[in-house]
Amino acid sequence: MVRMQLDLALSYDVVAPGCDLILNIHAAQTPCQRVQEEQLSISQAIACEMFGDQLTGNRYARLRAEPGPLQINYSALIDIQHHVAAPESIGEVPVSRLPARVLHFIYPSRYCQSDRLLNLAIREFGHLWQGYGRVLAIQNWVRERVKFTPNTSNSHTSAIDTLIEQVGVCRDFAHLMIALCRALSIPARFVTGTDYGADPRLGPPDFHAYVEVFLDFRWYLFDPSGTALPMGLVRMGTGRDAADVAFATIFGSVNSLAPKILTQAIVDQTAGLVMPYHSSSALSTDEV
């Protein structure tokens, strides 16, 4: 088991009255991810409504901010229990046996236009053994082609753009990998967290986007940009693509500062709390 300490600080300057924010910065509550402690503080004396999504475990805070500075701090202590499996033992699930609630994740979405990639995906990956190894091949294909390059993409950039221009950040790697999986009828979804383990030369700690693929009736973790340590990922949002799980959706006029993020592993051998490490095993933190 890994135990992660998460500390986030978001800073805004709200320009006009009547500004709504929907935040998805709480760690998700799932059978494999337990939030042991958490604290949210908001610098303005405003109401904060919490609500959640049963299917995904996503948790949202909704607030209506007043003009002026707005500081939001979130801290949590989270235990994550990883399901570990040998890659060669993990097969794909045929469409005829996919659970109903998983089916949505084979359809195209805003940033993952899998419907346009059928020929390409079959050409590149159609001949491979249908299991974890094929998904790994997709991940490697994306990682070899796309160059991690900040400020080359924006909120409109989709998998097609990334495939063509071959640059992007974690979100773009994730979208392209998801689109290719779905083009092969392999369910794939978009997960957000923080980039624990990232090379400091890429910039200060930040939010992160990675991928889950449905194999052998579980959702397995993949980090196509390769910038974080998968075992240290704390799940915040799970959705079809970035359209579903922005950490902040803002309805109004706001100036934003860069978020401040700190993610630490709490190690205690006697309590069975290990340091996240790069593993060649397949990792999963969600069943269906």
C-alpha distances (whole Å) from 127 to each of 51, 137, 182 are 44, 11, 16
Shorter beta-carbon distance to its own copies: residue 118 or 273:
118
Among 89, 116, 256, 281, binds its own copies (CB under 8 A): 116
Shorter beta-carbon distance to its own copies: residue 51 or 277:
51
Q: Is 251 in the site for its own copies (CB under 8 A)?
A: yes
Window of 113-121, 196-204, 220-228, 266-274 that interacts with its own copies by CB under 8 A: 113-121
Q: Is 269 in the site for its own copies (CB under 8 A)?
A: no
Q: Is 167 in the site for its own copies (CB under 8 A)?
A: yes
Output the CA torsion sign for 259, 219, 22, 40: negative
Q: Is 45 in the site for its own copies (CB under 8 A)?
A: no
Token look-up 């109903």 returns 100
Token look-up 């999504």 returns 53
Q: Shortest approach of its own copies to residue 287 CB, angstroms?
A: 18
Window of 29-37, 76-84, 91-99, 220-228 that interacts with its own copies by CB under 8 A: 91-99
Structure-token pair, residue 256: 């934003």
Shorter beta-carbon distance to its own copies: residue 18 or 68:
18
Shorter beta-carbon distance to its own copies: residue 136 or 243:
243
| Euclidean distance between CA atoms 212 and 117, whole angstroms | 19
Shorter beta-carbon distance to its own copies: residue 9 or 160:
160
Q: Is 185 in the site for its own copies (CB under 8 A)?
A: yes
Q: Residue 144: in which H helix or E strand, if any?
A: helix 132-145
Shorter beta-carbon distance to its own copies: residue 165 or 216:
165
- Determine the 3-state secondary structure of 199 from DSSP: coil
Q: Is 278 in the site for its own copies (CB under 8 A)?
A: no
| Euclidean distance between CA atoms 20 and 119, whole angstroms | 43
**CB-based contact 72:39 (threshold 8 Å):** no
Beta bridge pairs of residue 20: 64, 251
Site map for its own copies, 228-247, x if CB under 8 A?
---------------xx---
Burial string for 221-253 (b: 16+ CB within 10 Å, else e) reads: bbbbbbbbbbbbbbbbbbbbbbebbbbbebebe
Tally of CB atoms within 10 A around 59:
20
Q: Is 166 in the site for its own copies (CB under 8 A)?
A: yes
Structure-token pair, residue 120: 């390409």
Shorter beta-carbon distance to its own copies: residue 221 or 242:
242
Shorter beta-carbon distance to its own copies: residue 127 or 278:
127
Side chain identity at residue 194, one-letter code? T
Q: Shortest approach of its own copies to residue 127 CB, angstroms?
A: 14
Q: Shortest approach of its own copies to residue 146 CB, angstroms?
A: 9
Burial of 127 (0-12, 13-18, 19+ CB in 10 A): exposed
Q: Which residues contact 37 (CB under 8 A, 6 or more apart)?
A: 75, 76, 77
Q: Is 94 in the site for its own copies (CB under 8 A)?
A: yes
Tally of CB atoms within 10 A around 58:
22
Structure-token pair, residue 178: 């998801």
Binding site for its own copies (CB under 8 A): 20, 22, 51-53, 60, 62, 64, 94-96, 100-101, 103-104, 107-110, 112-113, 115-117, 119-120, 123, 145, 147, 155-156, 160, 163-167, 185, 243-244, 251
